Structure 1
Amino acid sequence: MKKSFKYRLLGDKETFAKADGWLTFCRRLYNVGLEQKITAYRQNKGRISCYDQINQLPELRAEFPEYRDVGSQVLQNVLERLDSAYKGFFRRIKSGDKAGFPRFRGRDRYDSFTLKQTGWKLDGKYLTIRNVGRFKIRLSRPIDGDIKTVTVRKETEKWYICFSCDNVHEKKLPQSDKAIGLDVGINSFLVDSEGISVDNPKYLRQSEKLLRVRQRTFSRRVKGSGGRKDARLLVAKAHENVKNQRNDFLHKVANHYITNYGVISIENLNVKGMVKNHHLSKSISDASWSKFFNLLAYKAEEAGRQLVKIPRFEPSSKTCSSCGAINQELKLSDRQWVCKNCGVLHDRDYNAAKNISRVGQTLQELTYGNG
């Protein structure tokens, strides 16, 4: 299986200054490449391929000697990223989705570079990148598998390394016959089919006042001034804190269910479509359902668990988990309801979670059998 390992990088100012210089060169190349694509499109809707742009790199290095120190694979990856963003724009347009055209990258808007098999060397806790320098890695856990790419990233003045690996060993957990259904929500982050409700911490909502103050301070600073740069960093740190809190919460919840249950059933929600509802978009984004589902998926694969997604239009909330009758009159605002067929009082989310678990187990048996 594939997996990424992210660690903090430590080093001296000179080494990080060189890494910063690489980011600047990458950003400039990205912008030049984007300008080429725009120009080609304006001329009779022509295209310039990623392959053609990569073939122009030797000319670039000859004309601008400063690019000679930047790894060739790093520069190629910049053009590959641009090509992916450019093609993605047209793909989304064709499918009818809302799409933003790739933008030129301003200062501090290009934050990573990637190397493949050459240009770097790993020696225990130390990473050496040719023409940049030597870093110390804060190895919080061992690297597993075969390293395919190495990405150096800058986040709010801190530097990180991300190793993307293949053939990572699966860490199978002891087999479990226990099954659970999870119904995600906004008031509660989720309710499971055993009746346990996990509160929604709403980290973004909690930080909105601080973010507003820092955003206001940033907007009042003079463009290009040191004060504006410092204010921008404070805004970025506030967002980073929200992200770190949210990630820690999501990992802990996902780990709990992966550790204790063999079959985890969830709804195949169209989160992207739901976010278009401006009344719910901020709350859904703050809850990070998509991130949670992705964590469940990769952790389930690693642990040998089965993650089952039930069909998107399964009426899990409207179906009575006791008798199977469907309440067609149920509204989104109804948090409790009584089944007219059997008279059972239902909590909306708990009832949905039980139905999700039931349908998920049925699908799991049809797919994998009883063994």
Structure 2
Amino acid sequence: MIKAIKVRLYPTRCQEELMFKSAGIARFSYNWGLAFLNKYYEENNKSLSIGELRKRFTELRNDEEYIWLKEVSSEIPQQALKDLGESFKKFFNKQSSYPKFKKKGKCEISFFHLNNKFVVENNKIKLEKIGYVKMKDEGRLPVGNYKKDKIKVLNPRVKFNGKFWYLSLALEVEDETKEELTDISVGVDLGIKDLAIVSNIDKPFKNINKSKEVKRLNKKLKRLQRQVSRKYDMLKSGTTFKKGEKLIKTQNIIKLEKQIKLVHKRIGDIRLNHIHQTTNTIVKTKPCRVVMEDLNVKGLMRNKHLSKAIAEQCFSKFINILEYKCKYNGIEFVKADKFFPSSKKCSCCGTIKKDLKLKDRTYVCHNEECNLIIDRDKNASINLANYKLA
């Protein structure tokens, strides 16, 4: 069984500089590889393999002009080119869009570390060309020399989230004894008023964006964004600035942008934590299967009145997290058909109400023999729970 582990690191100032340099070289390698492949295709009308691309990069690394590439581990840029190859594979398999260039300040700050070059001892971990870094481990990582002791870890990455450094990796562990599942089928309906309505849980899971703390942080974010916008306007209106020139940020702008990043991080952490708590509660009921609608999130985002509320709910992330937790616990995860009338169908008699509108929050069945009156979202969750059941 594979277990994901995330460990917080406490680097010194010198170590942190090397970490930022490693992440920068990983970004440079990815962008160089993408630019090289684009140019090669334009000139030769055929693609170049990632293996050949890595050989070309080794030649670049040995050039005196790019001697700074040798200041970090050689595996970092090579893995960045492998990641580029995976991006192209996903593109050709129609799983994602064409790879884009990684822009400094916009992309994730992270780099790869070779899995057999770790040395762990006494809450310290040795990273190649960085040295021993303090960490908050709590006994989750195996102690020892990973090469000599043949300890296997998968896909280790060192990441910076805007405030702290983390090491994330996957470790092979023995299978845990899992509890037996019930014979209950659960339907989960996602919404804007509430995050999720579950068929076997009476109380809906609240929309965390309506909480006092998130509202306070959103107000703070608006205030900071206005401040930085005014400073940019003042900078552009200066006599020394000419149109078309690159703006040189002042220290006050840099400070404000750092604060904005931290507020964005705090809001994102609150939302992610709420999603994890909700999905954990659903999985802990031990159902035999979980059914959700196959939502077209991109299509929903086209609605200008609801796009912001939908984006804040993080539907795609919720579905992905619930799916992997179901898989881990041996629960069947089913995506209902996009055209399944979960909201329009009566969960009691099966009558379909074609004239149901978005503003109708209570479902009233038109069948005289039924006359069911139920919350619209609860009705949808029950219909999802009964989806394709004999």
TM-score w.r.t. length of structure 2? 0.81
8 A Cα contact 1:265 1:307, kept in partner: yes
Q: Secondary structure at the match of 2:155?
A: strand
Matched, 1:43 2:43: yes
How far is the alpha carbon of 1:89 from its aligned partner? 5.7
Matched, 1:325 2:335: no
Matched, 1:139 2:145: no
The alpha-carbon distance between structure 1 residues 171 and 216, as it changes in their structure 2 partners (threshold 3 A), is farther
8 A Cα contact 1:7 1:160, kept in partner: yes
The alpha-carbon distance between structure 1 residues 82 and 217, as it changes in their structure 2 partners (threshold 3 A), is farther
Q: Secondary structure at the match of 1:261?
A: coil
Deviations 1:94-117 (A, max 9, x none): x9x8x5761253367451101233
The alpha-carbon distance between structure 1 residues 217 and 90, as it changes in their structure 2 partners (threshold 3 A), is farther
* 2:270 aligns with one of 236, 239, 245: 245
The alpha-carbon distance between structure 1 residues 348 and 275, as it changes in their structure 2 partners (threshold 3 A), is same
Aligned residues: 358
Give the whole-Å Cα distance in 2 for the aligned partners of 1:269 and 1:296.
Answer: 14
8 A Cα contact 1:3 1:168, kept in partner: no
Match of 1:230 in 2: 255
How far is the alpha carbon of 1:174 from its aligned partner? 4.2
* 1:288 aligns with one of 314, 317, 338: 314
Counterpart residue identity of residue 80, structure 2: V
* 1:345 aligns with one of 362, 369, 373: 373
Counterpart residue identity of residue 164, structure 1: A
8 A Cα contact 2:88 2:98, kept in partner: no
How far is the alpha carbon of 1:193 from its aligned partner? 1.7
Matched, 1:258 2:297: no
Match of 2:206 in 1: 199
* 2:323 aligns with one of 276, 281, 297: 297
After TM superposition, the structure 1 = structure 2 runs for residues 345-364 of structure 1, keeping only pairs within 5 Å, are: 345-359=373-387, 362=389
8 A Cα contact 1:267 1:309, kept in partner: yes
Give the whole-Å Cα distance in 1 for the aligned partners of 2:170 and 2:61.
Answer: 28
Give the whole-Å Cα distance in 1 for the aligned partners of 2:177 and 2:76.
Answer: 33
Which stretch has the larger CA shift, 138-147 or 231-240?
Answer: 138-147
Match of 2:222 in 1: 212
How far is the alpha carbon of 1:262 from its aligned partner? 1.7
Q: Which runs of 5+ in 1 are unaligned?
A: 367-371
Give the whole-Å Cα distance in 2 for the aligned partners of 1:161 and 1:224.
Answer: 31
The alpha-carbon distance between structure 1 residues 312 and 104, as it changes in their structure 2 partners (threshold 3 A), is closer
Q: Secondary structure at the match of 1:202?
A: helix
How far is the alpha carbon of 1:231 from its aligned partner? 1.7
Match of 2:74 in 1: 72
The alpha-carbon distance between structure 1 residues 258 and 87, as it changes in their structure 2 partners (threshold 3 A), is closer
Give the whole-Å Cα distance in 1 for the aligned partners of 2:124 and 2:168.
Answer: 14
Give the whole-Å Cα distance in 2 for the aligned partners of 1:344 and 1:122.
Answer: 62
Give the whole-Å Cα distance in 2 for the aligned partners of 1:151 and 1:114.
Answer: 5
Matched, 1:162 2:168: yes
What is the CA RMSD across the aligned residues, in angstroms?
2.8
Q: Secondary structure at the match of 2:158?
A: strand
8 A Cα contact 2:26 2:111, kept in partner: yes
Q: Which runs of 5+ in 2 are unaligned?
A: 143-150, 236-247
Deviations 1:307-326 (A, max 9, x none): 33333322111111111111
Matched, 1:181 2:207: no
The alpha-carbon distance between structure 1 residues 171 and 277, as it changes in their structure 2 partners (threshold 3 A), is farther
Match of 1:12 in 2: 12
Match of 2:243 in 1: none
TM-score w.r.t. length of structure 1? 0.85
Match of 2:196 in 1: 190
Identical pairs, percent: 27
Q: Secondary structure at the match of 1:43?
A: helix
Which stretch has the larger CA shift, 321-330 or 134-143?
Answer: 134-143
How far is the alpha carbon of 1:141 from its aligned partner? 7.0
How far is the alpha carbon of 1:88 from its aligned partner? 5.1
